[in-house]
Amino acid sequence: MSEGSGSWGSQLRKGVLELAVLGLLAGEPRYGSSLVDDLAGRPGLAITAGTVYPLLARLAKAGSVTTTWRESPVGPPRKYYALTDSGRRRLDVMSQEFDTVAAALAGILKGES
């Protein structure tokens, strides 16, 4: 060990990914693979298909998103996930919480007691 800088990424992500997905859905409805491809280009937020689908299923079950099937011009049908009002509220809450945590963390790293 002594390294593990690679494993660190996967720890931090926990929970943050939900916020990232909700944030992306706030722009417009999207389908799973699109989310995976998008997040792959955002350092620290890369996600795999095996992670995003259970996450989306959880969000649907919680009523944060609704789903709609649409045809694709180039392949199998796509399942679009759209944010509900409840989902948007959740996004707001989580976003605020993240800021709180980030601020608390910044305080610690600056040596505030």
> Which residues make up the interface to a second copy (CB under 8 A)?
1-5, 8-16, 18-20, 23-24, 26-27, 38, 42-45, 62-63, 86, 90, 93-95, 97-98, 100-102, 104-105, 107-109, 111, 113
CB of 6 to a second copy, least distance (A): 10
List residues binding DNA (CB under 7 A): 7, 9-11, 13-18, 31-34, 46-51, 53-58, 71-80
> Which one of DNA, a second copy, none interacts with residue 87, CB within 5 to 8 A by kind?
none
Report the first-to-last Cα separation within the chain, whole angstroms: 31
Instruction: Give the residue with the Cβ less far from a second copy, 41 or 76.
Output: 41
- Dihedral angle sign, alpha carbons of residues 55, 61, 66, 72: positive
- 88: nearest Cα among 21, 35, 34, 31: 21
The partner in contact with residue 77, picked from a second copy, DNA, none with C-beta cut-offs of 5 to 8 angstroms by kind, is: DNA
> What 3-state DSSP class applies to 83?
strand
> CB of 8: closest distance to DNA in angstroms?
8
Give the C-alpha separation, 79 to 66, whole Å: 10
> Helix H segments across 2-112?
5-27, 32-40, 49-61, 85-109
